[in-house]
Amino acid sequence: MDAPTKRALRINAIELLRQPGAVKTVDVEVSGEDLDVVHDALAGDIAIEVDLEALNDGIVVRGHVAAPWARPCRRCLKQLSGVASATIDELYQVEVLDEDAYPIEDGQLDLAPMARQAALLELDDERLCREACAGLCPQCGVDRNVESCACDTEVKDHRWAALDGLVLDD
Ligand SMILES: [Zn+2]
Ligand SMILES: [Zn+2]
């Protein structure tokens, strides 16, 4: 049997579609497991907070999907954490005419695929501790935000670097 949270993501669309203009609010927290979100950066439950508004030919879903994350800074590897929030503005249709729309199947609107996609997109984002993070020295590994080193890591222009090894034959 499905977890209750998983069931909370499946909405009776028939009822909503009978009353165009009607709005239903869904506010749930689900585990990554319930959403089939397997990601190293996920650090807690995913919050789904959306309004479902019935139209004549479908249901518009608007709101936010928020995922807590924890991952190292891309440059200095310091452990960081936060909550990433994706803005949701999606359409569900019984007869999918809009190519970006999600299907309403058996009278049910399933928020899971939409929330899953939004959460994964947010979790894939690489993070920096700060925009100007100096990162680690590629040679000795010191954190250049904290200390400096004497390594010569001046980046050579690759085009000229290639010529360095070239022996001219004249
Ligand atoms: Zn950093
Ligand atoms: Zn160094």
Distance 143 CA to ligand 2 centre (A): 9
Task: Note whether residue 27 is domain-resident.
Answer: yes
170 within a domain of the structure (yes/no): no
Answer whether 59's CB lies under 8 Å from 91's CB.
yes
Considering every ligand atom, which ligand is closest to the CA of 77? 1
What are the strands, taking DSSP E only, across the chain? 10-12, 23-30, 46-54, 59-72, 79-93, 102-103, 108-110
User: Which residue range(s) make up the domain with 73?
Assistant: 3-123
- Phi, psi for 7 (deg, rounded to 5): -65, -35
* Residue 51 near residue 25 (C-beta atoms within 8 A): yes
Per-residue pLDDT tens digits of the chain, which is 170 residues long: 466 777 889 999 999 999 999 999 999 999 999 999 999 999 999 999 999 999 998 999 999 999 999 999 999 999 999 999 999 999 999 999 999 999 999 999 999 999 999 999 999 999 999 999 999 999 999 999 999 999 987 765 555 555 555 565 65
Q: For residue 88, how far is its CA from the centre of ligand 1 (angstroms)?
A: 30
Could you say which ligand is closest to the alpha carbon of residue 152?
2
CA of 19 to the centre of ligand 1 (A): 51
C-alpha 144 – ligand 1 centre gap (Å)? 9
CA 136 / ligand 1 centre spacing (Å):
8
**For the CA of 74, the nearest ligand:** 1
Tell me whether residue 144 is in a domain.
no
Residue 156 covered by a domain: no
Phi, psi of 43 (to 5 degrees): -130, 35
**Distance in Å, CA 84 to ligand 1 centroid:** 18
Whether 54 contacts 114, CB under 8 Å: no
Q: Specify the number of domains making up the chain.
A: 1
In a domain, 147, yes or no: no
